[in-house]
Structure 1
Amino acid sequence: MNHITIAVEALSVYAGATQLLGPITFSLPTGRSLVIMGETGAGKSLLAQAILGTLPDGLHSTGTIHLNGQRIDQLSPQERSRFWGRDVAILPQEPWRALDPLMYAAAQVQESYRFVAGLTRSNAAAATQSDFNALELHGNERRLPRTLSGGMAQRVAFAAATAADAPILIADEPTKGLDTQRSAKIISLLTEKPNQGGALITITHEASVARQLGGDILVLKSGTLIESGSTTEVLNNPSEDYTQQLLNAEPRAWPKQASSSRGDLLLNAENLSIYRGGKCLLEDFSLELYANERIAITGPSGVGKTSLLDVLAGINQPEKGRVTRNSSVIQTGIQKLYQDPPAAFPNKVSLEKSLRDVARLHSVDWSVVLEYLSELGIHPSLMDRRPDAVSGGELQRISIARALTANPTVLLADEPTSRLDPITQRETLAMIADIASERGIAVLLVTHDLDIAEKWADRHYTLHSPL
């Protein structure tokens, strides 16, 4: 008979006297999967943080939490940390927050096997190599996290989080930024947890991921539990309009969009060959980017999509070939939206200060920034917080507002909506398209979603690894 691994009763999260989440009640038995789904900022990650005891400064929770029969909500953070890795493991939404920037990728996974799982050095090394082979990471063992693509870093973080085989796994957006094939591989590995008698909690905004995971589902909106039940039943026959709206907003249901006639040639990339870590990622690649044009770039993780954007932005130089830009495109006129926003924001500075600095630098009135934030669904109250005190989706939209504040001519967008639910994703990309059309901005969008590439862009390139 299954026994309860996690039991949550009337769990709520507050910022001062303001309730952000709850009350939420659920229990999760062994051998079962629970999906938490909802729009960006709905409180999905807050729920996981409250369970683990890792809420950002300034937030606190009420209610009771039992883990394997033991009440843990009254324990100190230090006492709760004893359960991490051994009893409950977390795969965080942002791999760069979980990985040591100064440690090689394989060493981080091996460390989990040695010091959490208790394996010998040789057995830990063998287990790590097995993980790297299974996750298609072979050859990247001695690379630092900052040299990995977002999808690669996500898979390294997955290997490190699951190394000790904790009976309970909490996975926060585990497939974000992954192509279809690698997403399917991660989902297959996740389903092994309940199938082998453990318990799995997965936070996702993708209905396709929820369907594959099965089990039960909680649908959240603005911190409130809207609907719950069997994942299959809820997604096939939702009783709430909001759940149906989430399903209707999936990119495959979007109408085909098109920009108006393109303008002047802004960027011209000719016969580029791009290397990273001694490996050839792209060879003899050419691209022209015109004003008022939207181009999508797709391809498997690690193929060189982000490296291409870095070369186009002038951050890195190609091994061969050249990038020329129209004389009207000044250096700050090329703005890049980073795949992982936390890496692009200073940790110790409030979001308002970060944005005000950009507005001052580009002589933009603060009211314009607030208008961008409003269009992106960001409440001004979030500006008092640091980057780690907002959700990944909120930070992603704030980074878009920051980039637009710089008055770009060319916008290089690296997975700019990967952390957003379908409704917010559709609205955000529509806003970018509208502003780009109004100003004649050229947008180069990197995405793992083929439906977005086909529905949103005027042209679509698929990158392949050189033979």
Structure 2
Amino acid sequence: MNAPALFQSLTVSGLEIAAGDVTIVRDVAFTISQGRPVTLLGASGSGKSLVAHAIMGSLPTGLSARGVVKEDDVDLLASSPAQTRARWGRTIAILPQEPRLALDPTMRVAGQVAEVHRYLHDLGPAEAGASMRADLTEVGLGDRTQAYPHELSGGMCQRAAIAITHAAGASLLIADEPTKGLDAALRDGVVERLRREVERGRLLLTITHDIEVAAALGGMVGVMLDGVLVEFGPATEVLESPRHDYARALIAANPAHWPAPDLPPAGAPIVSAAGLSKRFGEKALFDDLDVSVRRGEIVAIIGPSGCGKTTIGNIVLGLVTPDRGEVQRAPGIPPTCFQKLYQDPPAAFAPHQTLRRGLGDLLRLHGLAWAQAEASMERFGLGRELLDRRPSEVSGGELQRFAILRALLLDPVFLFADEATSRLDPVSQSEVFAILVEAVRERGLGLLMVTHEAALAERVASRILRLPS
């Protein structure tokens, strides 16, 4: 296989993105060159991912881009749809923010990686298989090559998507939240993988809210707020001496700096599980495990990706049956008072239904007023204009906030939060956790949370359950 020549630079100038007559991203300008990646930080909904999709030529229906986006001398925005599609996977590849939705649910992971080598790079079956195994081993999935996406954790799906994107070998790699949902070790491995792509001459644009990722990648860092690039410069300057007020707040909002929640003594047990054991195929996740959650208590489960954290929460909710052990719930509590926040919020929303329709159906079903939902939307920083969009037309962070809003409207007594803030920037993350902590304090909500962030668990949890790999 002869590798195609790599582009030397990508230049963005005067980029604007509009929804009809409304401009939602304005006057964005930066240059990515070989050896100098660009990372965009900012709040959920600030326009970071829209900039990436404008470059890719994959903006959602109803949005349009104008300005100049040049890969060397090729004006990407001036290309025809056929020319744009021809670049996908060949000169530009994107690592999507929602990897589970990007994976083919009917194909094993091995086939999805191997087909890139076979049909994009014209390798024979044996060579494609060897390259596939090397790619999946490098992201820690060498023992899960025959798994389907639904058999993988959220973090594993992310790593599978990384392997597929790497296999494409495009000149420009766009990584949209490449480390969300990954534990520290896997996050560092992904960052190292991205750095190697830069060393090989590929252009890299990364969208993230993880400041440690931005610092590790180096190059240039930009901070976006409300569709505007409010700060841009060398990574060390922006991260160590930010000039804009929002940039300073964003960088300072590390979970390790949060105040510990002031919670009253925990009340009666809501749910208790004893002697839980579970395995999938040949892999044993845990054995003889106990866990309980009381009213007004926050219990955190931490551990590496794929160790069984989500499975424990699903067993407690009754969504998964343990191989051994039993679960007991406090009597007299209706099922609707046991709620879950998903790691991948699109899995909890009807994809072709507007958020207004979905929220309205919920309110009518449970006899709730629109005023309650509108008050919660304002508190969560969700504009009313988002209601007429489908789940795929809002950012991952915005959709997660809708999921949290929807769960709390039902006044639950138990909430299983599976990486509930993994898509939020540090400022939004602290604001959302303040709301969850308030629900724990004022309503006596029992919160069972899964997280990869040890610092987050140590700041907010009453108790921590640590799982080995």
TM-score over 0.5 for the alignment? yes
Give, in whole Å, the separation in 2 of the partners of 1:286 and 1:231.
45
Matched, 1:172 2:176: yes
Conservation of the 8 A alpha-carbon contact between 2:338 and 2:412: yes
Q: Helix, strand or coil: the match of 1:25?
A: strand
Shift of 1:131: 1.7
Structure 2 portions without partners, runs of 5+: 1-5
The structure 2 residue matched to 1:145, chosen from 149, 167, 175, is 149
Cross-structure match for 1:160 = 164
Cross-structure match for 1:132 = 136
The structure 2 residue matched to 1:262, chosen from 241, 261, 266, is 266
Shift of 1:91: 0.3
Give, in whole Å, the separation in 1 of the partners of 2:157 and 2:72.
31
Give, in whole Å, the separation in 2 of the partners of 1:77 and 1:363.
47
Q: Which amino acid aligns with 2:120?
A: V
Matched, 1:456 2:460: yes
Give, in whole Å, the separation in 2 of the partners of 1:278 and 1:356.
44
Q: Which amino acid aligns with 1:189?
A: R
Q: Helix, strand or coil: the match of 1:454?
A: helix
Q: Helix, strand or coil: the match of 1:155?
A: helix
Q: Which amino acid aligns with 1:373?
A: M
- Mapping of residues 373-412 of structure 1, within 5 Å: 373-412=377-416
Q: Which amino acid aligns with 2:12?
A: V
- Mapping of residues 67-466 of structure 1, within 5 Å: 67-465=71-469
Cross-structure match for 2:3 = none
For residues 414-451 of structure 1, give each alpha carbon's deviation from its aligned partner in whole angstroms, at most 9, with x where no partner exists: 00100100000000000111122221110001111111
For residues 217-245 of structure 1, give each alpha carbon's deviation from its aligned partner in whole angstroms, at most 9, with x where no partner exists: 11100101101110111111111121111
Conservation of the 8 A alpha-carbon contact between 2:7 and 2:71: no
Give, in whole Å, the separation in 2 of the partners of 1:3 and 1:100.
29
Shift of 1:3: 7.0
| CA spacing shift, 1:258–1:272, aligned 2, 3 Å | farther
Q: TM-score, normalization: structure 2?
A: 0.97
Conservation of the 8 A alpha-carbon contact between 2:224 and 2:230: yes
Give, in whole Å, the separation in 2 of the partners of 1:29 and 1:3.
9
Give, in whole Å, the separation in 1 of the partners of 2:425 and 2:128.
37
Give, in whole Å, the separation in 2 of the partners of 1:327 and 1:271.
21
Cross-structure match for 1:31 = 35
Q: Which amino acid aligns with 1:319?
A: D
Q: Helix, strand or coil: the match of 2:162?
A: helix
Cross-structure match for 2:15 = 11
| CA spacing shift, 1:278–1:328, aligned 2, 3 Å | farther
Conservation of the 8 A alpha-carbon contact between 2:299 and 2:464: yes
Shift of 1:329: 2.4
For residues 24-72 of structure 1, give each alpha carbon's deviation from its aligned partner in whole angstroms, at most 9, with x where no partner exists: 1112112221101111111000000111111111111111211231112
Conservation of the 8 A alpha-carbon contact between 2:209 and 2:425: yes
Shift of 1:76: 3.0
| CA spacing shift, 1:13–1:277, aligned 2, 3 Å | farther
Moved more, 185-194 or 28-37: 28-37
Shift of 1:114: 1.1
Q: Which amino acid aligns with 1:455?
A: R
Number of residue pairs matched by the alignment? 464
Give, in whole Å, the separation in 1 of the partners of 2:281 and 2:85.
36
- Give structure 1 regions of 4+ aligned residues with deviation exceeding 4 angstroms: none
Give, in whole Å, the separation in 1 of the partners of 2:188 and 2:278.
28
Conservation of the 8 A alpha-carbon contact between 1:337 and 1:414: yes
Conservation of the 8 A alpha-carbon contact between 2:261 and 2:437: no
Shift of 1:4: 4.2
Q: Which amino acid aligns with 1:333?
A: C
Conservation of the 8 A alpha-carbon contact between 1:175 and 1:183: yes
Shift of 1:138: 2.2
Give, in whole Å, the separation in 1 of the partners of 2:430 and 2:305.
23
Conservation of the 8 A alpha-carbon contact between 1:88 and 1:167: yes
Structure 1 portions without partners, runs of 5+: none
Q: TM-score, normalization: structure 1?
A: 0.97
Shift of 1:406: 2.2
Q: Helix, strand or coil: the match of 2:59?
A: coil
Moved more, 437-446 or 250-259: 250-259
Shift of 1:139: 2.1
Give, in whole Å, the separation in 1 of the partners of 2:122 and 2:236.
38
Q: CA RMSD in A?
A: 1.3
Conservation of the 8 A alpha-carbon contact between 1:8 and 1:65: yes
Give, in whole Å, the separation in 2 of the partners of 1:3 and 1:98.
26
- Mapping of residues 53-72 of structure 1, within 5 Å: 53-72=57-76
Give, in whole Å, the separation in 1 of the partners of 2:81 and 2:326.
52
Conservation of the 8 A alpha-carbon contact between 2:278 and 2:324: yes
Moved more, 314-323 or 55-64: 55-64
For residues 327-369 of structure 1, give each alpha carbon's deviation from its aligned partner in whole angstroms, at most 9, with x where no partner exists: 1322121101010011111110001111111222222212111
Give, in whole Å, the separation in 2 of the partners of 1:132 and 1:74.
36
Conservation of the 8 A alpha-carbon contact between 2:40 and 2:208: yes
Q: Helix, strand or coil: the match of 1:143?
A: coil
For residues 152-185 of structure 1, give each alpha carbon's deviation from its aligned partner in whole angstroms, at most 9, with x where no partner exists: 0000000001102112110001000100000000
Q: Helix, strand or coil: the match of 1:361?
A: helix
Q: Which amino acid aligns with 1:209?
A: V
Give, in whole Å, the separation in 2 of the partners of 1:406 and 1:449.
28
